[in-house]
Homo-oligomer: A and B are copies of this chain.
Amino acid sequence: MSDMPSCQFESRPRRIVIGSSGVQADFCATCAVRPTSVCNVIAQADMARLAEAAVETIIPPGRGFIEEGAPATDFFNITSGTAKLFKALPDGRRQITGFAAPGHFLGLAVSDSYAFGAEAVDTVRACRFSREKMAELLDDFPRLERRLLEEASNELVAAQNQMLLLGRKTARERVASFLLDQMRAGMPLDQNGQRGSLHLPMTRGDIADYLGLTIETVSRTLSWMRSQGMIDVGKGYAITIRAAGRLDTLAAGNS
């Protein structure tokens, strides 16, 4: 029982797969997430500075790359894939506080240790910045600070929505909210490129830990929604939204 948590929480060494120290000069210029990430406040002319500070990092599925409570040495900017951010209780209960999609900036911690853990859901690519490099960038590019404040404010709004969900919504409302959020977040379409068809990279267990439910309740709720004709549950991780309006009514609590 005493070693259960370490087993459940990715006890494998959290070594990070590191690319070169600093990337090519045109790396940031051609970055796919630049338009939506915090990097976009750094001008074309200064992009070499940015690229010099960044270390491209590839994290395989299931690998943890931020450990809750560990010294906060690095910041990450997700460029592809999805990561889960979570907090855990000593007995193994876990709460996923958010999923970090491409463009998401990670590591905003005032204290010198991470307040949450992070683990790759699928293969994650991220730009890693050391605390020192980040401090230099912040000193040299004041606009970056304002951009980070904007980012943090957005996360706060998301966190408040999640608190409302966790504290006051029923299981059905939670799952409906989740599906709509995923749809709106414009997550990658499935292989068929079908409209309204989501590819959820995370498992039912992840969804349960995100929504404060159990795997069984998530599964049952999805089955119920399917029986109501609201969604189609495809093979793998595909879900098709059939009645977004009814899901919306559910998610808002009008049911």
Main SS of the interface on chain A? helix
Interface residues of A in 62-101 (CB under 8 A from B): 85, 87-91, 93-95, 97
Tally of this chain's copies = 2
A116 touching B154 by the CB < 8 A rule?
Answer: no
Minimum C-beta distance from A117 to chain B (A): 11
CB closest residue in chain B, given A167: B212
A156: interface (CB < 8 Å)? yes
Query: Does residue A136 face the partner (Cβ distance < 8 Å to B)?
Result: no
A254 lies within 8 A of chain B by Cβ:
yes
Task: Return chain B residues, CB-CB under 8 Å to A97.
Answer: 159-160, 163-164
Indicate whether A181 reaches chain B with its CB closer than 8 angstroms.
Answer: no
Interface residues of A (CB under 8 A from B): 85, 87-91, 93-95, 97, 108-111, 115-116, 138, 142, 145-146, 148-150, 152-157, 159-164, 166-169, 209, 211-212, 252-254
